[in-house]
């Protein structure tokens, strides 16, 4: 049997179409693409950030300020640079908190202060000024509650306490030091 061009043409055409179909199927196949890691880029920032809370009667409750506030949408976190909280609820000693940096919870009811944290409780009707220093402080604003699991130093009128872990409730004015507590008290003259 003799192979002529008229007999080979349909075979070659079918072979070319089969190869083209194979190539198209491979080229069009969707390869699974590795999911890109979400980026932790801010969506907005505010310089000289200030938020003031008032009671329903219009009385000042607290003022939260920071040199800079940055919000990240990927985890809905808010970071504060040089935060300062002044809490002045009626019939409670005023609290002033400062730190080098901080973060807010999503609902802004909790504040997490880090690095060189100083809490100053102004004198009350029956108590003097009190100063607390630590490296981390968790503040629950609505309950006037502060706590830490780090070392804290508390000084007040000739008294000094150092402990590991602390919880202070400004409403009830109860202070609890959790471990390794050391103190020094000067005799009143």
- Identify the pLDDT of residue 1: 55
Average of per-residue pLDDT across 97-121: 90
- pTM greater than 0.85 (yes/no): no
- Cα separation, 119 vs 6, whole angstroms: 97
- Identify the pLDDT of residue 27: 80
Class of domain 44-148: mainly beta
- Cα separation, 9 vs 72, whole angstroms: 65
Residue 164 near residue 178, CB atoms below 8 Å: yes
More confident site: 93 or 112: 112
Domain boundaries, the chain: 44-148
Model confidence over 33-63: pLDDT tens digits?
666 677 777 888 889 989 888 888 888 888 8
Residue 92 near residue 119, CB atoms below 8 Å: no
- Cα separation, 121 vs 170, whole angstroms: 9
Strand, coil or helix: 141: helix
């Amino acid at each position: 049997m003799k192979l002529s061009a008229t007999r080979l043409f349909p075979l070659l055409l079918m072979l070319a179409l089969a190869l083209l179909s194979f190539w198209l199927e491979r080229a069009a196949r969707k390869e699974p693409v590795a999911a890109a890691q979400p980026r932790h880029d801010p969506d907005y920032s505010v310089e000289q950030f200030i938020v003031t809370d008032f009671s329903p009667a219009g009385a000042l409750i607290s003022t939260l300020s920071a040199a800079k506030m940055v919000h990240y949408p990927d985890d809905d976190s808010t970071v504060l640079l040089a935060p300062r909280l002044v809490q002045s609820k009626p019939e409670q000693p005023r609290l002033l908190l400062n730190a080098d940096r901080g973060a807010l919870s999503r609902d802004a009811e909790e504040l997490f202060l880090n690095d060189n944290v100083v809490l100053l409780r102004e004198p009350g009707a029956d108590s003097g000024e009190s100063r607390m220093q630590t490296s981390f402080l968790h503040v629950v604003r609505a309950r006037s509650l502060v706590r830490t699991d780090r070392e804290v130093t508390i000084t007040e009128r000739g008294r000094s306490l150092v402990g590991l872990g602390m919880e202070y409730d400004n409403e009830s004015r109860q202070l609890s030091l959790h471990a390794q507590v050391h103190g020094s008290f000067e005799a009143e003259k």
